[in-house]
């Protein structure tokens, strides 16, 4: 027999607690249990929610949910394919809500606004992702796209590919963004060399590299703000 919410004493059920005291009164585990709905033969839904929230070895609680993969979740006893997908969808919804809140600030095109918008979608990545933002003459975003996945390496990034896309969309300015999975946004020597190489190519084509922003854990570094784009490349 499966143990469900109905088997939990009424005063302890998240549904009734929410109706009586408001959704803000629910704990993290209770919120997750409402989504999961059922536990297993030997584990209540509340206990299962606690197991999921403590599954990641470093990031605990609901902050750990975005770090859990489908494979990781299905290894938890009591979590099958359906529950794993439910948890993944919850984490993705949270990330999209956070990104949507920052979207209006993106039009300001300041390094901090750009970093705040993209940081939520990159902070959980385990590999470096290099992204390009294509901008019009008013610095409004035309399109963003991922250029490469893996360690940022000058020999692997072709300015030709970058500027072919910029020319295709008639971009006047471009911004590069990439994440450091370590959480430290300090630019490496390779980051700086890649930036200079692309900036040089842009000058020849009349397309300005406005900035290269490196994202870390709740931090960012703008090579423009650091003055690394002001000097001759």
Q: What one-character-per-residue DSSP string does 172-216 give?
A: SEEEEEEE-TTS--PPPHHHHHHHHHHHHHHHHHT-EEEEEEEE-
3-state SS class at 106: helix
**Torsion of the alpha carbons at 142, 156, 186 and 203, rounded to the nearest 10:** -50
Under 8 Å between Cβ of 117 and 102: yes
Do strands 141-149 and 208-215 pair parallel, antiparallel, or not at all (unpaired)? unpaired
The pLDDT tens digits for 99-115 are: 766 555 556 568 998 89
pTM of the model: 0.58
Average pLDDT, the chain: 85
The pLDDT tens digits for 133-172 are: 999 888 888 888 888 887 665 445 778 888 998 999 999 9
The pLDDT tens digits for 26-54 are: 999 899 989 998 888 888 888 999 999 99
The pLDDT tens digits for 71-102 are: 999 999 999 999 999 999 999 988 887 776 65
3-state SS class at 120: helix
Instruction: Give the list of residues 6+ apart from residue 114 with CB closer than 8 angstroms, or none.
Output: 106, 133, 175, 177, 211, 213
- Which pLDDT does position 71 carry in this prediction? 94
- Which pLDDT does position 155 carry in this prediction? 42
> How many angstroms separate the CA atoms of 111 and 225, rounded?
8
């Amino acid at each position: 027999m499966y143990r469900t919410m109905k088997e939990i004493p009424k005063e302890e059920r998240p549904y009734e607690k929410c109706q009586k005291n408001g959704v803000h009164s629910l704990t993290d585990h209770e919120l997750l249990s409402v989504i999961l709905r059922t536990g297993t033969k030997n584990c209540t839904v509340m206990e299962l929610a606690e197991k999921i929230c403590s599954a990641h070895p470093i990031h605990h609680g609901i902050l750990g949910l975005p770090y859990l993969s489908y494979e990781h979740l299905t290894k938890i006893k009591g979590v099958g394919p359906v529950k794993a997908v439910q948890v993944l969808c919850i984490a993705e919804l949270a990330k999209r809500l956070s990104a949507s809140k920052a979207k209006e600030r993106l039009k300001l095109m300041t390094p901090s606004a750009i970093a705040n918008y993209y940081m939520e979608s990159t902070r959980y990545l385990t590999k470096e992702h290099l992204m390009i933002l294509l901008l019009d003459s008013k610095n409004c975003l035309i399109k963003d796209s991922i250029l490469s996945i893996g360690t940022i390496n000058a020999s692997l990034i072709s300015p030709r590919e970058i500027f072919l896309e910029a020319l295709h969309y008639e971009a006047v300015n471009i911004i590069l963004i990439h994440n450091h999975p370590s959480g430290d946004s300090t630019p490496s020597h390779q980051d700086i060399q890649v930036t200079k190489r692309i900036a040089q190519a842009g000058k020849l084509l009349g397309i300005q590299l406005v900035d290269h922003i490196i994202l870390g854990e709740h931090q960012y570094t703008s090579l423009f703000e650091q003055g690394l784009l002001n000097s001759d490349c």
